[in-house]
Chain A
Amino acid sequence: MARMKFLCDAERCIECNACVTACKNEHQVPWGINRRRVVTLNDGRPGERSISMACMHCTDAPCAAVCPVACFYTTADHVVLHDKDLCIGCGYCFYACPFGAPQYPRVGNFGGRGKMDKCTYCAGGPQQDNSHAEYLQYGSNRLAEGKLPLCAEMCSTKALLAGDGEIIATIYRERVQQRGYGSGAWGWRTAYKEVPQV
C-alpha cells in the first residue's frame, strides 16, 4: 500500500509561494489560515534556503496522540485527517505538532478558537467524497479524483513532491545523484522516522 508523503527539495524552492496560494484557493481556506507556508532560512545570507511546509501526515502522529476528543484518524494511505464536528478547538494538537500545522479560524481572549484546520493532503475529510458538505468543511478531495495535492502538482520548479513515499524518495535520490548535492529531505526524520537513502 502506497504511503503518502511530502518532500520539499530545498535546492529547488525559490520561495514563490505558489503552493501557498494554490492551496488557499483550491480549498477556500478560512481567513487568517494558511495550510501551507514557505519558510526561509538564512534569509539574505549565503546558504539561504526556502522550504515549503504543511502538515506532513506523520507516522504515529503526535496530534492524534494528544487530542482529547480523538477526532484524528489515519487513512490506509496514511493521510492524517480530522473530524471538525468532534473538534472542540482546545489547541492541544497545535502544541503537539512539530511542524505547527494545526491552525484556528478565530482568536479571542475568552471565545472559542473555532474548529482546527490543517492540510488534508487534498483528501477532504469524514464527509462523503466531493460532497458539498465536505467541500465546505475541508475543501476539495483531489485524491479521490485520482490526483495529487495541488501544491505539489503546480510547483513551478518542481521542488515540492507529493505522492507515494517510495517513488518521491527515488525521484529525490536521482536528483541528488545527478547534481551531486542535496540538503536532505527536510522534516522526514521527525515526521516519518526515516530519511531517503541517497
Chain B
Amino acid sequence: MNGRKDGGVAERRGFLRALGLGTAAAAAAVAPAAAQRSDSVPAGQARKESAAERVAARYRETDHVRAFYRTNRY
C-alpha cells in the first residue's frame, strides 16, 4: 500500500459527478464501442463501496477452496 495521504482524490474529482459529467459523460464517449466492456458505468448504476468495504478480506477457506488445494496435491 502506498503511504500517501490520498483520501482526498475521490472527493476532489467528485465535483465532476455533481455536474453530471463524470462517469456518465465518460460512458457517452465510449458509446460507439458499447458492444464491448465499458470502462465506466453510468453514474446512476454506480454502486461504489466505502473505503472500509474495499479493503475487507474476501477470501474464505470454503469447501470449494479446500477441494482446490486437495486436488493440487495429486
B: residues with CB less than 8 A from A are 1-2, 4, 6, 9-10, 13, 22-23, 30, 36-41, 45-49, 53-62, 64-65, 68-69, 71-74
Contact = CB atoms under 8 A, between A and B. Distances in A.
A182 to B, nearest CB: 14
A16 interface: no
B58 A127 contact: no
A20 to B, nearest CB: 17
A12 to B, nearest CB: 10
A119 interface: no
A147 B72 contact: no
A75 B13 contact: no
Chain B interface, >50% SS class: loop
A73 interface: yes
Chain A interface SS verdict (over half): loop
Interface of A: 1-2, 4, 28-31, 60-61, 64-65, 67, 69-77, 79, 81, 83-86, 105, 114-115, 123, 126-129, 131-134, 136-137, 141, 143-144, 146-148, 152-153, 158, 161, 163-164, 167-168, 171, 174
A74 B73 contact: no
A69 B62 CA distance: 36
